Amino acid sequence: MTILGHHIEEEVQAKLVLENGTIFTGEAFGATGESTGEVVFNTSLTGYQEILTDPSYAGQIVTMTYPLIGNYGINLEDLESVKPQVAGFIVKEYFDYHSNFRSIGSLGDWLSRHRILGIQGIDTRMLTRMIRTVGAMRGIISANDLDDARLLQKVRQSPEMKGLDLTKQVTTSEPYSWDEVDRTPFALAPLAQHRSGGGKWKVVVFDYGVKHNILRRLSSYGCVLTVVPSSYSAEQVLELNPDGIFLSNGPGDPAAVRYAIANIMKLVGRKPLFGICLGHQILALALGAKTFKLKFGHRGANHPVKNLLNGSVEITSQNHGFAVDPETFDPLAIEVTHVNLNDGTNEGFRHRSLPIFSVQYHPEASPGPHDSDYLFRQFVEMMERDRAPAVGPQSP
């Protein structure tokens, strides 16, 4: 395996410094150097590869609460984007000796190749409890400069997540069509050509940092997907004449993505709309609601969500640091459909008269349970109703 970074063969001291002055000392793994970002935690027991490649984590240093990470290595099947997206990685114990029939290499080698810093050997339980008490904080991982005062100064000079638009860092630069056969993007081609190949529903996907498994699940329900940049205009989307429009997950503050909000405002009432995560928040903002930053966010694969439409409880995969304020919805236009059972925050809504709905969590899972996969079918059914011709009064 060719390593482009500097893989660490022997123990190298590293430090994690938080903006509140707390200092953790451990050992580096992956690449060397230093990196700043918002320090958050994820409670998933498995799925570190999917977490690392989720574009929603751009700008963040992710702490895994499960203590042993790396034992099944890295494979090509579980990528949620083409590369790791995190700013850094924190674990209690990194396990370099991987063992899995799909593995093509170690986690440390893979992080080194993509120049991602990791730190192990720190008290991740203490760190997680601190984040829960104080809130998500900016931090820095360094394996080079170990001076506490300089590292703290660098942290406090780094940008805060609130007010930060990170979608431009992770979105596609050009539109492309998604080919489920080999699960790789290929050059944009006329949608009609793909419909004849078996796809039934033409869907435009706004890429705010879309996960591959969202595209796989949409494809599995017969959707022919054209993925477009986050700044793609409403007029350009309507020229493609899709049956529906999907708003993807992504990183950063939804209120900072003003161009996306303005575009979705123009599309409301024109085509069926379905949003997930950041897409859910942008859709809510386009409908006049407001968002706010959570104290430490929801990140993990076991968050309970109640479906208010049928009373069922879904165990969900989540990754977000902002939420929609349901009190700012117009109750005559919007109906809340899902609520988080841990803290009561909004997890979903639908429009009372237009073909629009969205959820805050991740029905595609990866990693996580599949309790909410029905939402993709619900999107298809909504497009089918919208495409059906209106039935007028019959003449005698």
Residue 191 has pLDDT above 50, yes or no: no
Task: Check whether 193 has a pLDDT greater than 70.
Answer: no
CB 139 within 8 A of CB 117: no
Instruction: Write down the pLDDT at residue 11.
Output: 83
pLDDT at 10: 67
Helix, strand or coil, per DSSP, at residue 385? helix
Q: For the residues 243-267, what does the mean pLDDT come to?
A: 98
- Cα(39)–Cα(140) distance, integer angstroms: 8
More confidently predicted of 192 and 364: 364
Task: Give the pLDDT of residue 389.
Answer: 67
Catalytic residue among 98, 212, 320, 362: 362
How large is the angle between the packed helices 374-387 and 212-220, nearest 10 degrees?
60
| pLDDT for the residue 253 | 97
54 and 211 Cβ atoms separated by less than 8 Å: yes
177-184 contact pairs (CB < 8 A, 24+): 177/224, 177/225, 177/226, 177/227, 178/205, 178/215, 178/219, 178/225, 178/226, 178/227, 180/215, 180/216, 180/219, 180/220, 183/212, 183/216
Residue 374 in 3-state DSSP? helix
| Per-residue confidence band for 1, with pLDDT thresholds at 50, 70 and 90 | very low
Q: Is the peptide bond before 190 cis (omega within 30 degrees of 0)?
A: no
The pLDDT-based confidence of 279 (bands split at 50, 70, 90) is: very high
Q: With beta carbons less than 8 A apart as the criterion, state whether 297 and 136 touch.
A: yes
114 catalytic per annotation: no
**What pLDDT band is residue 198 in, cutting at 50, 70 and 90?**
low
Domains in the chain, start-ordered, CATH in brackets? 13-157 (3.50.30.20), 167-384 (3.40.50.880)
What average pLDDT is seen over the chain? Answer: 91
User: Per the residue annotation, which of 19, 314, 347, 364 is the catalytic one?
Assistant: 364
**pLDDT score at 388:** 75
| Tens digit of each residue's pLDDT (9 = 90 or more) over 9-55 | 568 999 999 999 999 999 999 999 999 999 999 999 999 999 999 99
Set 7, 38, 80, 277: catalytic member? 277
Task: Give the pLDDT band (50/70/90) at residue 110.
Answer: very high
| Whether 384 is catalytic | no
- Residue 362 designated active-site: yes
**What proportion of the chain, given as a percentage, has pLDDT over 70?**
91
The pLDDT value recorded for residue 340 is: 98
pLDDT band at 387 (very low <50, low <70, confident <90, very high): confident
pLDDT at residue 390, rounded to an integer:
54
pLDDT > 70? residue 339: yes
Predicted confidence (pLDDT) per residue in 120-177, tens digit:
999 999 999 999 999 999 999 999 999 999 999 999 999 999 999 999 999 999 999 9
